[in-house]
Amino acid sequence: MRKKLTHADGLAVDFVLDHLNEVKHESTSTADTFVPARGLEPQRIESVEKILDLLEELPAAEPSPELLRRTMQRILRAPVSMPGDSTDESNDRRSFNHLPPLR
C-alpha cells in the first residue's frame, strides 16, 4: 500500500527538517516544542519524527570507490603545512605509498 503525502504532511516534513538540529539537542520532540505556535497538527509532526527515527536505523551506504579514489588524489595533491612552518609548501606532499592501491 502506497500512501501519498498531503500538503499538510509536506508542511510537517519541512517543519521537522528545518528544526531538526534544534531539537536534537533537547529531549523534547518537535511536536511538543514548536507545533502549537505554527498551527500544525502534533500527530503529523510525530509521524514524521517516527519515520525519520526509523530511517536513522538503516545502515549508512559505503562511499563509492570512485569517490574514495578522487578524495585520496585530492589529499595527495594538497600541500601540507604546519602552523609556524616556514618551509616551501609547494613541494611538500603527503605520502600514502604504504596503502594498498585503489581498485
- Give the distance from CA 60 to its chain's centroid: 11
- Look up the domain containing 52 and give its range: 7-56
* Positive or negative: CA dihedral 24, 51, 32, 30: positive
Report if residue 73 sits inside a domain: no
Decide if 30 contacts 15 (C-beta within 8 A).
yes
62 Rama sector, left if φ>0, alpha if ψ -120 to 50, beta otherwise: beta
Report if residue 35 sits inside a domain: yes
Report if residue 78 sits inside a domain: no
Say whether pLDDT at 17 is over 70: yes
Report if residue 90 sits inside a domain: no
Reported pTM:
0.47
Decide if 81 contacts 92 (C-beta within 8 A).
yes
Q: What pLDDT, in 10s, does the model give residues 82-100?
A: 666 655 444 445 555 666 6
Count of domains observed in the chain: 1
Q: What pLDDT, in 10s, does the model give residues 18-67?
A: 887 665 555 555 555 555 556 788 888 899 999 999 999 999 888 899 99
Q: What is the pLDDT of residue 80?
A: 77
